[in-house]
Structure 1
Amino acid sequence: MNRLVSVIVPCRNERAYIEAFCASLFAQALPPGWQIEAVIADGQSDDGTAEWLAAHADERLRVIDNPGRIVSTGLNQALQIARGEVIVRMDVHSVYAPDYVAECIAALERTGADNVGGAWRAVGQGGMQRAICAVFQSRWISGGARSRLLDYEGEVDTVYLGAWPRASFERFGGFDENLVRNQDDEHNLRIKKGGGRVWQSARIRSSYSPRASLGALWRQYLQYGYWKPFVMRKHGQSASARHWLPAAYLLALLGGLLLLPWSGWPLALLGLAYGVLLLGGCLSLANQGLAVLLRAPLVIPTYHLAYGLGSLLGWADVLRGAPAGRSRFARLTR
């Protein structure tokens, strides 16, 4: 009897990508004895995505409505009707190796982990998107997150996308629908705190298409920063240093500005410190080409300042006891 793997996919307004994504999904080379189904939760798209999906839905491509319009509600609704013994999450904007699903299944069987995934590899076109990719991938600039290490194999705190045995959701629950961003980090944290294991495999290969402009990148990382304190409040657990530093630097800058009538040294030292970081970050990308190098001085601060400002706004709402995040940070930014 064939075994079933369910691929769950949240999407909204992906008409330019959905056809190629579905073609690559059903071209996946599965292990012997396995079959695949896809459950796509469409967030009420208005660009033709919903119509294309409706025209191509069948037993293998199941389409459901996601009125919540955010990733966590879409994932949970897809989980409710997914029939597979293994659940694999995919996103439309990523490109997957032909053996992606097979390697997810193999990693689960090999490690016995509760969630497995691959590294987060960014690939772009054009000078600005390539610069955004290079900064995203850099250990110097991203704080050493293992999810950016393409050759890393072992236990981690979180993985890109993810693949789970169905029992993981029965044990740890689904995704937190109060979180517009960071719902995957929160779910992995719940697994770890519950005694489970999260595993990153270098054999699980995909590439991600990031934002292509500074404005879109700013809005995205403002959201990432904003929702992180809500995860920390829920679990009463501190984030790593790389999550604290952007907000701490902005607070220090504010302190330097307040001290400016009496002394300019604190602000000058802060500016010098960030200048050294910026120079080092740019030099670490020198092998990426001139187009990337020229844009890096704009891209690097966009990542840091957007995340830091978002974190400060998130902490302000958490500390005043807001039960949920602001609606302005609930809108998807792509």
Structure 2
Amino acid sequence: MQTEKPSSSLIVIPCLNEAAHIGALLDQLRPAAARLGARIIVADGGSTDGTLSIVDDVIARDPRVILLHNKRRIQSAAINLAVGTFGDGADYLIRIDAHGGYPDDYCDRLVEEALATSADSVVVSMLTSGSGAVQKAAAAAQNSKLGTGGSKHRHLSQGQWIDHGHHALMRISAFGAVGGYDETFSHNEDAELDYRLRKAGYKIWMSGKTQMVYYPRASLSGLYFQYLGYGRGRAKNVLKHRVIPKVRQMVPLLVFPVVLLAAFSFVHWLAAMPLLLWASVCLGYGLVAAIRQRKADVALAGVSAMVMHLGWSVGFWLQLLGLGSRRGVA
């Protein structure tokens, strides 16, 4: 087991139009980079909102921060490019989402757990939080079993070995050994990589010492297209590796067929019953959650869950059947 702090880490932030967040995030990460002997790579996919000038201002003050232009725009390509360009000599890759919230000691805790467990990858719980009515409802849905099917990385962990979680830290040697992220994936690239890591015998540890906060889409249309992409990504994973979806993924698969079936309710009213049952469960969950938490905004969690289910189901079936094209990556 390793007992010494690694000589270097590489902190990578895939980024696109994050002017509202990137400056504060870099200021938060810079002390950790100094402690860990790390460089911070902002892999930008073509921002047009002032992100680049903010990053340039930080670079002028701190040479540890580096701007890398990611012509392919998607996150999988951004991280592969950063590791391929700057990964030599670094022990660990630390992946940061530009639109997330992190404790100040996030990177330190990740490295500590990697050393303590000898894990090849350390993943974290991803808790969701929002500010507006739609965002709060989406957060409530994403933090619930109704919205995410009980995914382990959507809830706090005490620390455990796991098959998949939200990517946080990875041993660069393991990342390179399996070929990095598959750049044909714009969504679900993390789960696809975790499958190859496990198949190659590498170990994934879910942190019990730190976590991140994710801020969901602030509109129902944005939420729908996000989950449309997730559904497509999951279907690509299933097709690539010939794996059977888990039970919690099989249930939302039924949503799109149920919606299509309801279109035939003019033939017989029973065709609408599955849709009505699904809607009743989701909307009822939102109302019960709002009453229990005494938060009116949470009542919309059921609507958010329905949007998530439908988007994921439509995306999965379209990808499975080879129909449609991917929406531009956000």
Q: CA deviation at 1:85?
A: 1.1
Q: Distance in 2 between matches of 1:314 and 1:43?
A: 24
2:307 to 302, 307, 318: 302
Q: CA deviation at 1:233?
A: 1.1
Q: Percent identity?
A: 28
2:269 is the counterpart of 1:264: yes
1:249 to 241, 252, 255: 255
Matches within 5 A, 1:59-74: 59-74=63-78
Q: Relative to structure 2, which stretch is displaced further, 66-75 or 294-303? A: 294-303
Distance change >3 Å, CA 208–CA 148, structure 1 → 2: same
Q: Residues 289 and 298 of structure 2 are in contact (CA less than 8 Å); yes or no, is this contact kept in structure 1?
A: no
**What are structure 2's unaligned runs of at least 5 residues?**
none
Distance change >3 Å, CA 273–CA 305, structure 1 → 2: closer
Letter in 2 for 1:219: F
Q: What TM-score, normalized to structure 1? A: 0.89
Secondary structure, in 3 states, of the residue corresponding to 2:202? coil
**What are structure 1's unaligned runs of at least 5 residues?**
none
Q: CA deviation at 1:68?
A: 0.5
1:161 to 158, 167, 170: 167
Q: Distance in 1 between matches of 2:170 and 2:181?
A: 13
Q: Distance in 1 between matches of 2:234 and 2:278?
A: 25
Q: Deviations over 1:170-211 (max 9, x none)?
A: 322211110111111111111112222211112122211111
- How many residues end up aligned between the 2 structures? 322
Q: Residues 283 and 303 of structure 2 are in contact (CA less than 8 Å); yes or no, is this contact kept in structure 1?
A: no
Q: Which position in structure 1 is the counterpart of 2:214?
A: 208
Q: CA deviation at 1:273?
A: 4.6
Q: Distance in 1 between matches of 2:314 and 2:158?
A: 31
Q: Distance in 1 between matches of 2:174 and 2:92?
A: 10
Q: Which position in structure 2 is the counterpart of 1:280?
A: 285
Q: CA deviation at 1:281?
A: 4.8
Secondary structure, in 3 states, of the residue corresponding to 1:119? strand
Q: Which position in structure 1 is the counterpart of 2:90?
A: 84
Q: Which position in structure 2 is the counterpart of 1:142?
A: 148
Q: Distance in 2 between matches of 1:52 and 1:270?
A: 48
2:298 is the counterpart of 1:332: no
Secondary structure, in 3 states, of the residue corresponding to 1:215? helix
Distance change >3 Å, CA 2–CA 299, structure 1 → 2: closer
Distance change >3 Å, CA 294–CA 274, structure 1 → 2: closer
Distance change >3 Å, CA 2–CA 203, structure 1 → 2: closer
Q: CA deviation at 1:268?
A: 1.9
Q: Distance in 1 between matches of 2:310 and 2:51?
A: 34
2:12 is the counterpart of 1:15: no
Secondary structure, in 3 states, of the residue corresponding to 2:119? coil
Q: Which position in structure 2 is the counterpart of 1:129?
A: 135
Letter in 1 for 2:12: I
Q: What TM-score, normalized to structure 2? A: 0.90
Q: Distance in 2 between matches of 1:68 and 1:141?
A: 31
Q: Residues 124 and 207 of structure 2 are in contact (CA less than 8 Å); yes or no, is this contact kept in structure 1?
A: yes
Letter in 2 for 1:268: M
Distance change >3 Å, CA 149–CA 230, structure 1 → 2: same
Q: Relative to structure 2, which stretch is displaced further, 144-153 or 178-187? A: 144-153
Q: Which position in structure 2 is the counterpart of 1:108?
A: 114
Letter in 2 for 1:121: L
Distance change >3 Å, CA 39–CA 293, structure 1 → 2: closer
Q: Distance in 2 between matches of 1:196 and 1:161?
A: 14
1:315 to 311, 316, 320: 320
Q: Residues 239 and 320 of structure 2 are in contact (CA less than 8 Å); yes or no, is this contact kept in structure 1?
A: no
Distance change >3 Å, CA 226–CA 107, structure 1 → 2: same
Q: Which position in structure 1 is the counterpart of 2:203?
A: 197
Q: CA deviation at 1:2?
A: 7.6
Letter in 2 for 1:230: K
Letter in 2 for 1:71: Q
Secondary structure, in 3 states, of the residue corresponding to 1:204? strand
